[in-house]
Structure 1
Amino acid sequence: MTNQTTAAPKGRFGSSRKSISVSKDSLVRVDPLAEGSRAVMCAPTVAGLDAREWLSSSGDTLARLRAEHGAVLLRGFTPLDAAGLAELATALTGGLRDYDNRSTPRQRVDGNVFTSTEYPPDQTIPAHNEMSYTASWPSTLFLTCLVPAAEGGETPVADSARVHSRLPAETRERFERDGVMYVRNFGHGLDLSWQEVFQTEDRDEVDAYCANNGIQVEWLGGERLRTRHVVQATITSRATGERVWFNQAHLFHVSSLPEGVRRELLESFAEDELPRNAMYGDGSPLDPEHLAQIRAAYDAEEIALPWRTGDVMIVDNEQFSHGRRPYSGARKVLVAMA
């Protein structure tokens, strides 16, 4: 089989993208995921190819694609179940991590493979880098679609370096100087319980975890707990050396909620008692204009393809964010974190 390359179409900013080369014995075609995007799609040139077999026979091809392009969609391979996804992810990265310091409801399916966030289907999950509200995050995400939605339900991805570059310098500088403070209040029954977030019933274990991870803890009586955590707003991607936008300020902020829910919460709670909220790292309120700029940058960079049964998306969590669009019908997507 001859060496294969894809053409190099013009990027959305006018520059040509590099050709993508794969080895001469490759059984996989590699194409851009969308015009002007670094992300790519890999599709087998023969029927019945298992992604795990391709990984084992193609050397560092998949690892190179992940590092160079940030997001890789595997489409047309033999579908994987939860155990198969774990095998693929472990073979590529060496191991999976648990979902600790949780932020959203998920169910454990098999080992460290989980359902994707189980928010109601009519809700949008804004673009975010996984666990960027912490100081310790997974480097790579693996998602696979077992059942695509009847309509909608895409998992958009966005280039975090491009999001960063779209923001005004003044906005970037404010966030980079102060970081982001995430404030969470547990015990109201309106969000995850602290027992679910920290996966324990033992308050001493919560205290120890938070102390080890720089999280401020305040027990308020009964089951009520307040945590504050100041972490990064941007980081330097380990794969590319680029500065990338890397936080969930716009997602945690009360303004991300549907208008009716937001109004009811603000009528019931002081801002520091909301189930979750975000501020600048110095504790001052986020500027609504900054939040609007962040959301606009994500909207401008998002790429969304409808899921197909058996699709696997591999995402460098520092290079690309992801989200979820509303959907109808059944939808089942699994996720593993490396």
Structure 2
Amino acid sequence: MEDSISQSQAQKKLQRAKRRSFNPQQQDWVKTSFLNTDSSLPLVVSPAMDGVNLTSWASQQRSWIESSLYQYGGLLFRGFRIDSTDDFVQFIQATSQGELLEYIYRSTPRTQLQDKVYTSTEYPADQFISMHNENAYSTSWPMKIWFCCLQPALQGGETLVADSRKVFQRIDPAVRQKFAEKKVMYIRNYGDIDLSWQEVFQTNDRSDVEAYCRQAGIEFEWNGEKLRTSQVCQAIASHPKTGDQVWFNVAHIFHISNFAEDIQKSLLSVFQPEDMPRHACYGDRQPMEVSTLNEIRAAYQAETIAIKWQKGDILMLDNMLVAHGRKPFTGARQVVVGMAEPYS
């Protein structure tokens, strides 16, 4: 009888211990650190003990996660057992307001893996992806973006991040003023060597494209089956929660000077600037100075931090506060992406 009582008491103690260990409301369940001693981007959040369920914990700590995201710009959740896109989606839902966003008005090729979860940009592995804020070539964008590494590359493939507030501060005030006043015009010609309009707008119906453009304030013109669009967008933006001024455009990517010299010469031998697959100029259609664009690229480079992926990592970024890019890589690499919280 004594052995039976003892065993019963032990089981109850064990159950109580398990309940305590999985209490998601205890913030001391996680610990924080930084990847680099000279930078606070990103804040690394990792389990302080075995068995922490990241989604359960996050669902009870949304206020802390939100305030930390505004402070640091990006959070890297590392060491938790994230093994699938289902785990990833559950975490996004626990840390966002509203549903995941569909990737429409695309600028890069991607594959949808499940409802509103996509592969990261499917550029060739040997290509560098320049620093950018998602959908900064538009007047509406996701406030939050999440990346999850299901398989790190054999070599390289680091995701690059840069604080858009610090990039803004590095750019000459005269340049900032000019961009703020003139803004940026993005001109796109679809289908020659870039994405087709069918892929960009995710439809085969021209009337759907026209309706989207009218609603978004995008000018459009058809030449047979070919489509050209143009839109004047912000160059600088104020974060709606923090009030921070951020550099928020991708003129340095859309402009031809982003290509290597041999590619520039090849494109210019075929296209006029406004006939390029992509082109950026000031909002009054005046050309941008290459020296200015190079200064902007240098500002990004000075603030860039490389995040070497580990399997199961989730990187959560405030899309206005932090820009991102990618290093070339070798071997298989699987990083999936979700976006939420649209803002105009």
TM-score (normalised: structure 1)? 0.90
Q: Which has the larger radius of gyration?
A: 2
Tell me the equivalent position of 1:27: 29
Q: CA deviation at 1:85?
A: 1.4
1:207 equivalent among 210, 216, 221: 210
1:40 equivalent among 35, 40, 43: 43
Tell me the equivalent position of 2:107: 103
2:313 equivalent among 298, 311, 314: 311
* Partner Cα distance (1:139, 1:184) in 2: 24
* Partner Cα distance (2:26, 2:208) in 1: 53
* Partner Cα distance (2:322, 2:70) in 1: 11
* Partner Cα distance (1:67, 1:162) in 2: 14
- Work out the number of aligned pairs and report it: 314
* Partner Cα distance (1:170, 1:25) in 2: 45
* Partner Cα distance (2:144, 2:136) in 1: 13
1:262 equivalent among 241, 252, 264: 264
Tell me the equivalent position of 2:150: 146
Q: After superposition, where does 1:59-70 map in structure 2 within 5 Å?
A: 60-70=63-73
For each residue in 1:37-64, what CA deviation from the matched residue of structure 2 results, as whole angstroms up to 9, or x when unmatched? 3530111112342320211243522222
Q: Secondary structure at the match of 2:68?
A: helix
* Partner Cα distance (1:197, 1:55) in 2: 34
TM-score (normalised: structure 2)? 0.88
Letter matched to residue 306 of structure 1: K
Q: After superposition, where does 1:185-196 map in structure 2 within 5 Å?
A: 185-188=189-192, 190-196=193-199
Q: Secondary structure at the match of 2:70?
A: helix
Tell me the equivalent position of 2:16: none
Q: CA deviation at 1:26?
A: 2.1
Report the identity percentage: 43
Q: Secondary structure at the match of 1:192?
A: coil
Q: Secondary structure at the match of 2:141?
A: coil
Tell me the equivalent position of 2:172: 168
For each residue in 1:190-211, what CA deviation from the matched residue of structure 2 results, as whole angstroms up to 9, or x when unmatched? 1110001011111111111101
Tell me the equivalent position of 2:285: 283
* Partner Cα distance (1:61, 1:105) in 2: 34
Tell me the equivalent position of 2:128: 124
* Partner Cα distance (1:59, 1:307) in 2: 24
- In the alignment, structure 1 segments of 5+ residues that lack a partner are 1-22
For each residue in 1:139-179, what CA deviation from the matched residue of structure 2 results, as whole angstroms up to 9, or x when unmatched? 00000001111111111110001000000011101110011
Tell me the equivalent position of 1:251: 253
- The 8 Å contact of residues 141 and 335 in structure 1, kept in 2 or not, is answered as yes
- The 8 Å contact of residues 32 and 46 in structure 2, kept in 1 or not, is answered as yes
- The 8 Å contact of residues 76 and 310 in structure 1, kept in 2 or not, is answered as yes
* Partner Cα distance (1:239, 1:125) in 2: 28
- The 8 Å contact of residues 148 and 313 in structure 2, kept in 1 or not, is answered as yes
- The 8 Å contact of residues 26 and 58 in structure 1, kept in 2 or not, is answered as no
- Between 40-49 and 277-286, the greater mean CA deviation after superposition: 40-49
- The 8 Å contact of residues 161 and 322 in structure 2, kept in 1 or not, is answered as yes
Structure with the largest fraction of helix: 2
* Partner Cα distance (2:230, 2:330) in 1: 36
Q: Secondary structure at the match of 1:156?
A: strand
Q: CA deviation at 1:283?
A: 0.6
Letter matched to residue 275 of structure 1: P
For each residue in 1:104-140, what CA deviation from the matched residue of structure 2 results, as whole angstroms up to 9, or x when unmatched? 0000001010000000011111110000000110000
Q: CA deviation at 1:278?
A: 0.8
- Between 191-200 and 51-60, the greater mean CA deviation after superposition: 51-60
* Partner Cα distance (2:215, 2:26) in 1: 49
* Partner Cα distance (1:80, 1:115) in 2: 15
Deviating above 4 A after TM superposition, structure 1's stretches of 4 or more consecutive aligned residues are: none
Letter matched to residue 166 of structure 2: R
Q: Does 1:230 align with 2:232?
A: yes
* Partner Cα distance (1:36, 1:117) in 2: 26
Q: Does 1:322 align with 2:331?
A: no
Q: Secondary structure at the match of 1:120?
A: coil
RMSD: 1.4
Change (3 A) 1:59 1:162: closer
* Partner Cα distance (1:268, 1:307) in 2: 40
* Partner Cα distance (2:145, 2:83) in 1: 15
* Partner Cα distance (2:276, 2:203) in 1: 23
- In the alignment, structure 2 segments of 5+ residues that lack a partner are 1-24
Letter matched to residue 50 of structure 2: A
Change (3 A) 1:259 1:50: farther
Q: CA deviation at 1:86?
A: 1.5
Q: Secondary structure at the match of 2:213?
A: helix
